[in-house]
Amino acid sequence: DSLVLVDDDEVIKVHVHTNDPGVALTQALTYGSLLTVKIENMREQHSHLSSDTASIEDDGVIAKPEKKYGVVAICAGAGMVALFRELGADRVVAGGQTMNPSTEDILKEINRTPAETVLVLPNNKNIIMAAEQC
């Protein structure tokens, strides 16, 4: 499970990855009422994405391997993007603490990386599950 909290003076926004959303919702209700609830099954999203390969194939970009290893980094901010590119990342996906990229976004960049093996650097525990599904 993973949890991200963002708050201001009036509202706390909570982003949770869990295998049992009912437990998370029950616990959240002990702290007060909920304004908006959105539950998505990431395994189902991955299954749908895997069966819908047309969107990836239609993209038309699957790089031919030119080297043994490649790197796709996920990070937020121009400074971090520049740093990862300077350090040799082949591709960079925008994402971070509150901006999780989709599995499809990560997979497209993996496909565009000209390497036999592509290492994905999620750089945030909230992105690991999406990265592992690629």
Report how far apart, in Å, the C-alpha atoms of 60 and of each of 34, 54, 56, 73, 97 are: 43, 10, 7, 21, 30
Give the global pTM. 0.54
Q: By the 8 A CB rule, do 69 and 117 touch?
A: yes
Tell the residue number behind the tokens 């299954």, with chain if given: 47
d(CA 35, CA 11): 9
pLDDT, position 120: 93
Low-confidence ranges of the chain (pLDDT < 70): 1-2, 4, 42-60, 134
Instruction: Of 70, 110, 76, 74, give the one whose Cα is nearest residue 90.
Output: 70
Write down the pLDDT at residue 16: 79
| CA proximity to 106, closest of 87, 88, 119 | 119
